[in-house]
C-alpha cells in the first residue's frame, strides 16, 4: 500500500517515513497496522478503540501515531508502538475525515456529518477554531501548500450547491475566501492539492477530476480535466505522486488509472478488483509502487 498520505472510506491507508507500515481503517471498528514488506506476519497490530465503523485514518507526520475517526462521533490518537490510545476528541457528529496540519503536527482538522469543520489542538485537547457555513456532510478536506488555507468539499442537498460544494477557507480568520468555485451539480468526494504547483483537483461524481487554481479567485480550468475513469456515486479518491508528475485515481470499474498530471493524459490502467477501487496512492519514495483498496475491503500493493 504505500504512501505517506492516503485514506479511504473502507480502508484508509498510509505509510510512515520508513515506508514499510500501512494503516487501514475498517467498517469492523478496527484499525490494522500492516507490515507491507513482511513475507509472513503482515498484520503487525490491530487497534480496537472505536465502538463503530472507522471512516478515516492518518499517520502523524513523524510516523509515531495514527489519528482515526468514525461513526462513534470521535477522533482518536493512538501510539502505534505501544498500541495505546492517548487522546479522544469527541464531537456531536459522525466524523468522516481528518487531516494533520502540514506545518504543525499538534493541529488537525476534522469534518463531519453535520457539516461542522473544526481545528483541534492536540496539546490542550480542544477545538481552537470552528468554520461555520451551514454545509451538508463534509466529504473531504485538504490544506493548501502554504497551509494558510484549506479546502473543503461537502455533500450539498439543499441551498445553492455552487456556493457550498467546494469552499476555500482562511485558517486563521475562519472565513470562506471562495464563492461559486465549482458550479456543476456534482458532489466531489476527494480534494487534493498538487505538492508544488498552485492548483488543486477535485474528484467529481460527474466521472472526471476537475482542476482549480489554488490562488484567488480559485478558478476552474475549463479546458483541462482528467477523464476515463468512473466514480458513479462511490467515494473514489485520487492522489498525486510525491514528485507531482503523476495523478492516480481509483475507479468504479475496479481499475487504477494513472494520469500525467500536467497534460492530463491517461498513461496506464491496471485492473485491480472486481468491485470499485475506492482509494489509491503512490509510495512516498518508490514511484513504481502504489497502494490501493476496494469497496469490498481488500487492500493491495502493486509494483
Q: Where are the chain's structural domains?
A: 1-94, 95-302
Please report the pLDDT score of residue 29 as a whole number.
96
Cell output for 196: 508544488
Q: What is the CA radius of gyration of the chain?
A: 18
What's the pTM? 0.90
Three-state DSSP class for residue 25: strand
Could you read off the pLDDT of 47-88 as tens digits, one per residue? 999 999 999 999 998 889 999 999 999 999 999 999 999 999
CA quadruple 203, 206, 208, 209: dihedral positive or negative?
negative
Do 92 and 69 form a contact (C-beta atoms < 8 A)?
no
Query: Which CATH number applies to 1-94: 3.40.50, 2.40.10, 1.10.1060, 3.30.2010?
Result: 2.40.10
- All residue ranges of the chain with pLDDT < 70 are 1-19, 41, 157-163
Please report the pLDDT score of residue 143 as a whole number.
97
The Cα–Cα gap between 54 and 15 comes to 18
Please report the pLDDT score of residue 210 as a whole number.
97
The Cα–Cα gap between 180 and 9 comes to 27
Extract long-range pairs of 149-154: CB within 8 Å, 24+ residues apart.
Answer: 149/177, 149/214, 150/99, 150/109, 151/191, 151/193, 151/200, 152/111, 152/117, 152/191, 153/187, 153/188, 153/189, 153/190, 153/191, 153/202, 154/115, 154/187
Please report the pLDDT score of residue 15 as a whole number.
38
Please report the pLDDT score of residue 70 as a whole number.
97
Is 95-302 CATH 2.130.10.10? yes
Amino acid at each position: 500500500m504505500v504512501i505517506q498520505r492516503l485514506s479511504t472510506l473502507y480502508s484508509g491507508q498510509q505509510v510512515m517515513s520508513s515506508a514499510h507500515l500501512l494503516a487501514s481503517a475498517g467498517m469492523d471498528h478496527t484499525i490494522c497496522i500492516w507490515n507491507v514488506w513482511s513475507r509472513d506476519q503482515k498484520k503487525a497490530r490491530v487497534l480496537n478503540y472505536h465502538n463503530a465503523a472507522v471512516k478515516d485514518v492518518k499517520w502523524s507526520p513523524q510516523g509515531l501515531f495514527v489519528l482515526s475517526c468514525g461513526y462513534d462521533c470521535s477522533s482518536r490518537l493512538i501510539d502505534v508502538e505501544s498500541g495505546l490510545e492517548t487522546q479522544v476528541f469527541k464531537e456531536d457528529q459522525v466524523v468522516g475525515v481528518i487531516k494533520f496540519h502540514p506545518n504543525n503536527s499538534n493541529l488537525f482538522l476534522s469534518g463531519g456529518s453535520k457539516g461542522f469543520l473544526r481545528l483541534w489542538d492536540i496539546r490542550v485537547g480542544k477545538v481552537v477554531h470552528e468554520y461555520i457555513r451551514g454545509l451538508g456532510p463534509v466529504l473531504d478536506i485538504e490544506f493548501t501548500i502554504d497551509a494558510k488555507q484549506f479546502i473543503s468539499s461537502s455533500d450539498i442537498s439543499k441551498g445553492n450547491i455552487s456556493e457550498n460544494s467546494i469552499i476555500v477557507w482562511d485558517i486563521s480568520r475562519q472565513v470562506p475566501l471562495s464563492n461559486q468555485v465549482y458550479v456543476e451539480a456534482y458532489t466531489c468526494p476527494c480534494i487534493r492539492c498538487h505538492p508544488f504547483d498552485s492548483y488543486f483537483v477535485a474528484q467529481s461524481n460527474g466521472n472526471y477530476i476537475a482542476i482549480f487554481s489554488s490562488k484567488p479567485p480559485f478558478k476552474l480550468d475549463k479546458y483541462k480535466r482528467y477523464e476515463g475513469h468512473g466514480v458513479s456515486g462511490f467515494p473514489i479518491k485520487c492522489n498525486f505522486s510525491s514528485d507531482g508528475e503523476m495523478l492516480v485515481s481509483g475507479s468504479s470499474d475496479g481499475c487504477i488509472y494513472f494520469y500525467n498530471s500536467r497534460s492530463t493524459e491517461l498513461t496506464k490502467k491496471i485492473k485491480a478488483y472486481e468491485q470499485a477501487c475506492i482509494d489509491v496512492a503512490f509510495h512516498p519514495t518508490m514511484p513504481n509502487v502504489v497502494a490501493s483498496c476496494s469497496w469490498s475491503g481488500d487492500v493491495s500493493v502493486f509494483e
